[in-house]
Structure 1
């Protein structure tokens, strides 16, 4: 044991040490409260040892003077080009004139080193932001952390319907030929092979620090945070306008999550994707967000990099363990994610389990109930069907078991959580190549079960679909689910209503309108051919005596009956199942099914050639 004389020196040194740490850590105002309602409420200061700005990041109608302040003994140095300030930067001596600096002349976006074809990302959009990065340095060489702000001046009505993301990082992090993650780079110039380009490299060695300023669609300054940035995607990395990935990490500012609920689900993510591309990749998954598969929420946004306009992007959720924990309440330390049939995160044992499942499905006849039950114990069949039926309906020919497919499972079980059961489930991603024409026919007329490259691979070369087709129970569940999706999620009325809320984002609304208006007439024949259906497609009409008393679950959907009734088409080969869902204080009195009275809460209805008229009659409990 140490004597007091041995330890007392630490007692006297500790306060001075803590004071020094406080000086080193002191910086800008704190901006950690989510969703602040006005700009003025966002200027909260950590302590006296920081550089402060007289105005926060934001949108301003007119030019203004910006005053910077620092504690006594600290001189301020600043930059306006995104580079990190130090004692060699501009010395602040007078207020800065913040103005609209938009110009077609751009230092970064006009470069031609982002892709093999030499294209830049600028286009003809001159928009630029005024960015300031400042640091305080005293005579002892002690520096505050860097403070960064983004200002947009004179942008009335600026990009209505879009959030704005300002990414600021030292330009060398993106554009340096040796260390820049966005450019071709020295290795490419030496080999001539695009795979050697800087932007094709992955992993933590190719993550760079970035400052993020985020403005909501109403241009409210939502949050500011330090984070990490990487290039995202596969082949799209070779394009001049690249998708990006942003991370919240403790090593940057002490936060392991973003400090603002960016998406409508109010989950605080730890990473997000800024995806360039068409709106279809966001719109189509939104139509099936209620199904038993993962989908990525999104926010349309305009991205600026180091003050320069970089283009229209979509900020989307990223499929990772935090996504699964947030959406399904599973233990993020005990989940495995597979992408394209390979381990993305989690347990190598789980990957081996998946491969053994494929081998089992390939080697065993799944028409035998015991074999099929074995598969169902490891695979969420409804999730699988929702995923594949969606891909077929939207005619996505850019997916397979080894392409653009995400699967996951909880490696621990929890009887109280239906998602923590050890079964594999599916998530939808990368549907850009949907609704496209194939084989010289109209896109909506394509037989996506057999006439696309993906369909051929899935039915002839891969294990799951071709093996599952042998089972009668699977075929019935697939057909009824497919028609549920067609009648509800992909019905023309549903899609048209969704389109009307976001017409400004859709590249070709006439094409999309025609696709969903005409798709059923063609794909239903393909469905019948693939599943050897011999029955007739007939209408099923649902109604309730009072929509305030209850709803009806039809197979896997709960149609909206508030307008009185609902109708969809189903093949007579298989029955439909209806289940009463009374509201609190009510109960099912009876079903009226083609005039027949039935009192079972859930019943299977065999469809006659004339169709079925089904009414649920609810009544008060007392």
Structure 2
């Protein structure tokens, strides 16, 4: 037998022995599904389509599907079959589940619309197929042509569970590139296309609309812009796949001390009478747009195609409206990779808010920001980071809008270094709204609370095992001190890690109704205990029903909780809420935006013809007045409603402030001698904390002890004594 026959027979028998599953291939992918295939939840996920080109049914149990070359079994397929000449669609949506009733397979990863590679592996880890796809726009797919000798194409009409078209697009036209980037210029700016091979097919607009083949051709000659201009460009040619849209904003003779955000969109998306989101602000419509952020020094921070929607509740009625910015694959990047806020080490965002200051619109415009800054790093609460900016929409000045984190499962995950899928996030209601995860543990907690006698310590302990009690006390103490009446029936969200060990924690946000916002509503003398302890439904105020205060009203019946709450709120008024500290924060935040306030108030008609000025100056002074006068009333209200006795001072000193410091209850003290005001009913824990290289020796004064932590009553003076350590370092944290 000659070598040719041997080779032929070897190939013949090899083909006979080829497993049937070798004919299963990756046939089509969609990495940015906007208006296409929906799953059983009504979502529009990315998807991967498998096709069995063989003649036999294949069981895919144990097969691996992945977008990571180092992890072939990123997702292991369940016991499902794919018949000959048939398709199987896998949802690449990171839901990580198999729905037996529908046969839906949800993978534990998503696809990148920027392009990547997908791998299919057999049970024994052999690579069955891979597909590398390019950058895809929304509702485009990439897959294998159905022609006999077809190759891979981009398709503009995806065909899940159906035969692919014979023809598509091999590539996308080149996006226009500009020799002059967007930014800030004096007098005028001259702009030229730098990649001009198809310059006669590059169309542009300056009104925010997307360029079409009927728009003006940019051409090879430079164009000069003498006023602020938003420039959109796109390469369009018959028979070819149009390029991505390039967007640049050129600011002419514009100067701001704040970061500048440029939002570019088709004007109809915002201002059309029937569909525009600024006109139909309660319709919850999300529209495509482009966002750019320029830092204070004029440098480009980031730019992206995004989705945007009117955000907020009552504040939607104001002329200037809040906007939620969403990063989704259907528009551009699925997340923003940028450090938006200096005070938080977070550089990935799925969304953020351009906030109109909520109920503080037309006021100090930073009231909520001041209240969250006051508690930053000193109170155990999650809060939204804040950064004021100037907004332009299609090149038109839109005033100050505050960049804030958007509260979602991603907010919790990024602030606590956890997976968003592990977050149970709820919004308060008689039946709480599930934002993410499950409400099961919350409903168990509520049922236990309703049935418990919290004056019995054992029953109390069982109930509060569901919640982070220090966090809840901080939450109630802060909202009460701030006199926020737009709460707790609304503006009330809480979360836990979705594990048996997780405990519910509260997030503080939208506190604008407090801190002297309106006369008689948020005033420095407002009795928030009458508000939060009211049990008569006929005497309820501010639209807050009994269920909204039930947790606090119930737990305050426990003496231990009452002691913790009173001592903590008193301690906060001596530290975080200390008058001079709060005024310094108010003045600092006011100084950041004050140069922009005249233009902002002029833009929104907030300047009085009688006084010649807007409300900013007087509102900031109202906040200072609140900071000066609030404490006296809170002490009086606590005393009256909680049956407390007289107030007294506790004075704490240290022998040498280079050697150590002191924690009073849960508040760190940094100035000595320090005096705080507390109720005589309760002793206050005081802890000596030596610095590295030093050691605590003893307490002297009205309490003498060698213990690090002592209990101190009012009208007492104590001193913590430290000395250089002799081979000992602090183990107190």
* TM-score, normalised with respect to structure 1: 0.80
Determine the C-alpha separation between the residues in 2 that align with 1:455 and 1:247. Answer: 32
Q: Residue in 1 aligned with 2:650?
A: 540
Task: Go from structure 1 to structure 2 and tell me whether the alpha carbon gap of 1:618 and 1:324 turns closer, same or farther (over 3 Å shift).
Answer: farther
Structure 1, residues 301-336: CA drift from partner, whole Å, max 9, x if none? 111111112221111011111111111123310211
1:525 and 2:632 are equivalent in the alignment = no
Q: Which of 256, 259, 281 is matched with 2:337 structurally? A: 259
Alpha-carbon offset, residue 493 of structure 1: 1.4
Separation (CA, whole Å) in 1 of partners of 2:240 and 2:574 = 69
**Correspondence for 1:354:** 442
| Contact 1:544/1:616 (<8 A) preserved | yes
2:714 aligned with 1:617: no
1:363 aligned partner: 451
Corresponding residue of 1:209: 288
Corresponding position of 1:164: 260
1:586 maps to 2:694: yes
Aligned with 1:90 (options 191, 216, 224) = 216
- Residues 575 and 553 of structure 1, relative CA distance in 2, 3 Å threshold: same
Deviations 1:402-423 (A, max 9, x none): 311011111125xxxxxxx321
Matches of 1:67 and 1:262, distance apart in 2: 31
Aligned mates of 2:503, 2:496 — CA distance in 1: 6
Question: Residue 428 and residue 437 in structure 1: after superposition, are their counterparts in 2 closer, same or farther (change >3 A)?
Answer: closer
Does the 8 Å CA contact 1:438/1:446 hold for their aligned counterparts? no
Q: Deviations over 1:462-481 (max 9, x none)?
A: 42111111100000000011
Distance 2:506 2:396 in 1: 38
The 5 A counterparts of 1:105-120 are none
Structure of higher CA gyration radius: 2
Report 1:24-39 matches (<5 A). Answer: 24=172
- C-alpha distance in structure 1 between counterparts of 2:585 and 2:276, whole Å: 40
Q: Provide the residue aligned with 2:179 in structure 1.
A: 54
State the 1:525 CA deviation: 1.0
Deviation sequence 1:338-381 (CA, Å, 0-9, x none) = 1123224223xx42432332233233221110111012210111
1:144 paired residue number: 243
Which secondary structure does the structure 2 equivalent of 1:431 belong to?
Answer: coil
Q: Decide which moves more: 454-463 or 73-82.
A: 454-463
CA contact (8 A) 2:495 2:505 kept: yes
Distance 2:428 2:170 in 1: 48
Instruction: Write the distance in 1 (CA, Å) between the matches of 2:223 and 2:296.
Output: 28
Q: Once superposed, what is the RMSD of the aligned Cα atoms? A: 2.9
The 5 Å alignment of 1:374-453 reads 374-400=462-488, 402-412=489-499, 421-436=501-516, 443-450=523-530
Which residue does 1:325 correspond to in 2?
413
Change (3 A) 1:72 1:13: farther
1:76 aligned onto 2:186: no
1:473 to 542, 560, 563: 560
Match of 1:575 among 659, 683, 688: 683
2:390 to 295, 302, 305: 302
1:295 offset after TM fit, Å?
0.7
Q: Is the 8 A contact 2:366 2:590 kept in 1?
A: no
Distance 1:379 1:448 in 2: 23
Distance in 2 of aligned mates of 1:178 and 1:376 = 50
| Alignment partners' CA distance in 2, 1:330 and 1:509 | 38
For the 8 Å contact 1:590–1:599, the answer to whether it is kept is yes
Question: Structure 1, residues 546-603: CA drift from partner, whole Å, max 9, x if none?
Answer: 3333221211111113xx4322211121111122222223221222243x43111222
Question: How far apart, in 2, do the equivalents of 1:168 and 1:441 lie?
Answer: 38
Unpaired stretches in structure 2, ≥5 consecutive residues? 1-17, 24-53, 55-128, 130-143, 156-167, 358-364, 533-539, 595-615, 728-733
Matches within 5 A, 1:37-48: none
For the 8 Å contact 1:458–1:466, the answer to whether it is kept is no
Counterpart Cα distance in 1 of 2:277 and 2:521: 42
Distance 1:439 1:297, change over 3 A: closer
Counterpart in the other structure of 2:730: none
**Which secondary structure does the structure 2 equivalent of 1:81 belong to?**
coil
Q: CA shift at 1:82, angstroms?
A: 0.5
Of structures 1 and 2, the one with the larger relative CO (CA 8 A, separation 6+) is: 1
Alignment counterpart, residue 558 of structure 1, candidates 668, 690, 693: 668
Alpha carbons 1:437, 1:446 under 8 Å: kept: no
Summarize deviations over 1:130-183 as a string: whole Å, max 9, x none. Answer: 11000112353432110000111112xx232x2111011122222233432222
SS in 2 for 1:592: strand
Q: Distance in 1 between matches of 2:321 and 2:701?
A: 56
Q: Secondary structure at the match of 1:621?
A: coil
Distance of 1:16 and 1:227 partners within structure 2: 26
Partner SS for 1:539: strand
| Aligned twin of 1:335 | 423
SS at match of 1:209: strand
1:500 aligns with 2:573: no
How far apart are the structure 2 equivalents of 1:461 and 1:249? 35
1:180 corresponds to? 276
The yes-or-no answer on 1:200 pairing with 2:282 is yes
**In structure 2, do the counterparts of structure 1 residues 410 and 463 end up closer, same or farther at CA, with 3 Å as the change threshold?**
same
Structure 2 counterpart of 1:114: none
- Sort the Cα spacing of 1:89 and 1:492 in 2 relative to 1 into closer, same or farther, 3 A: same
1:242 aligns with 2:368: no
Q: Does 1:512 align with 2:623?
A: yes
Q: Describe the superposition over 1:431-460 as per-residue Cα deviations: whole angstroms up to 9, x where unpaired.
A: 111123788699222222116855895779
Size of the alignment, in residue pairs? 533
Equivalent position of 2:578 in the other structure? 491
Runs of at least 4 residues of structure 1 off by over 4 A?
A: 6-18, 437-442, 451-461
Pick closer, same or farther for the CA change 1:346–1:502 going to 2, 3 Å.
Answer: closer
State the alpha-carbon separation in 2 of the partners of residues 73 and 259 from structure 1.
32
Q: 1:231 aligns with which of 301, 307, 310?
A: 310
